[in-house]
A and B are shown apart, each in its own frame.
Chain A
Amino acid sequence: EPEVTQTPSHQVTQMGQEVILRCVPISNHLYFYWYRQILGQKVEFLVSFYNNEISEKSEIFDDQFSVERPDGSNFTLKIRSTKLEDSAMYFCASSERGTVGNEQFFGPGTRLTVL
């Protein structure tokens, strides 16, 4: 069964460093998303991406964040200069369509720890 994969499963970095989190969405999906979950808090939407453009982003997704689909298979989230409060579990998701109610398939997540 097709699945969304994410690498690495755990990333440890120093404050101020850049990190890139990688995701491989399901191959025929066209819509891609990043969410994050700070320990003990809700899963929060960060950004959605379609046709090589951001279609929506939250207030969390400031200038320190960027997303890219560098090739036909990967979807990346870059944090330019990490802060302590960026420590969280980051989930990638993809969906075949962007219509309301269309299922989003989630990856297992990357745990980011900023020291």
Chain B
Amino acid sequence: GNSVTQMEGPVTLSEEAFLTINCTYTATGYPSLFWYVQYPGEGLQLLLKATKADDKGSNKGFEATYRKETTSFHLEKGSVQVSDSAVYFCALTGLPGGYNKLIFGAGTRLAVHP
């Protein structure tokens, strides 16, 4: 079935370290791919998205490239800050007959320490 798999957390990094959070998907058709972020006590916020193969989404120094050949959408940031500490969710939508419902991965908690 359609699903999203993320690397398990927590991921613990020092400030200014390089971040990668892996995300792979299984889907019929040509989904759109998203990264959402949840800061403590807040709702999910869209971080970035890509709607077709080879698109790169980017925002706030984060980026992810839609790789159809490897069915992946890994999240990267070159230099993390303490304020990036949050839970990151990979998600997809746009399945045939699926209207606009989002299918989420399990989430990856990131902790950045000074």
Contact = CB atoms under 8 A, between A and B. Distances in A.
Interface of A: 4, 6, 31, 33, 35, 41-45, 48, 55-56, 58, 91, 93, 95, 98-109
B103 interface: yes
Is the interface on chain B under 10, 10 to 19, 20 to 34, or 35 or more residues?
A: 20 to 34
Interface of B: 32, 36, 41-46, 49, 51, 89, 91, 93-94, 98-107
Contacts, number: 63
A107 B51 CA distance: 24
8 contacts: A43-B44, A45-B102, A55-B99, A95-B100, A99-B100, A100-B32, A105-B46, A109-B43
Given A55-B99, A95-B100, A108 B49 contact: no
Contacts of B36: 106
